[in-house]
Structure 1
């Protein structure tokens, strides 16, 4: 079978005899691993389209359950992401997270569109890269069906809440937090500001974050909660790129 699809290069795996396995997040097939013998050092359009972060169009052949890249062309390289170290590290974290989040071979068009929008916005962004990353993470969590409930206390439905429970996937009042039988490291104190930020990031389109920059202390608190939440509910933790940005 021969086909083509737009895709983002997530990473490369070197194999033998100069061959490589390219992990693609394709719009048509979801995450796939495709072998190729196209030279990495070449300057032709196919070689340039095999670099991480690249958004391109890929000509594929499929034999049984295996994909092979026959040709490719760059649609957008996002080269400016690589010109800023902090920007590059933040984007690397998002790619690694997305790679872990995606199952193999299941189309995920909405998440694909979200990722390409994120990369486009990150390339143009001048500051507050972490705010955009938090927005992407929240949107991806919502896409996965694992979004927290941030209305009332998940235990007694009281409207006066003071804590976020990772295990319960929602908020807790003072009494329910005190009675909770769980690892206290999974319970975080929250303010109205933190709850408002979470609600905004979960419910607003990514493009609405174009000019938004969270305060550094607020961003750190939200990121800490998200890190724990993602590890508990999605099983994604200890990402290599994460240690470089926190």
Structure 2
């Protein structure tokens, strides 16, 4: 089996990367950075997000597994002291593949017929660099509302625990192929009105954002950001692709939610 190891870049993560690479080679696995079948991410959720985007064109052929060298993450579930156990699992044990839904973001421009397509593991956000974001929101091809406010966040189920949660969005189990549209400080008064609640859209439903004011807009896709003034529309939907994780032991989603936000209790 071909593998590669990515690192956050700190001393601890780099040392673990070196040890894991050497151990997997000793077990007969082949390091292949170009076409890995499994990617071991050492660091945190941000490191795994970067690995996801680096290999987004190989999602059908590649599985991810994360080792956290900081706080427990939603994607990185192995601890540094468990590396030897994980290496043996990878080398000797058939693993379960768990798939999570992704978000497809298609950006269209006024000044070109070409479209930009992105995949998000966590979320896409849309904001105006100055002033309020004003845009029409169409759902499944029908006008829904005109949004005025700081911005909008469109998240995946696995990303619902990230920025979406900070905006008081719902936490959605990643077994549900869906996306969530959450407002950032919407303006609601006698003149302007939005639904004011997060919306959970199922697979095959599209959400189309059409900016109305001529301002520079900032679009983020996970940890990457772009600024553009010629945006005609931003279309979001559940992607056809999934991200694949290698599971060698149970990693219950609600347990992660509890440990991250509630703690173990007394």
Higher RCO (CA 8 Å, separation ≥ 6 residues)? 2
Question: TM-score, normalization: structure 1?
Answer: 0.30
Structure with the bigger percentage of helix: 1
Structure with the bigger percentage of strand: 2
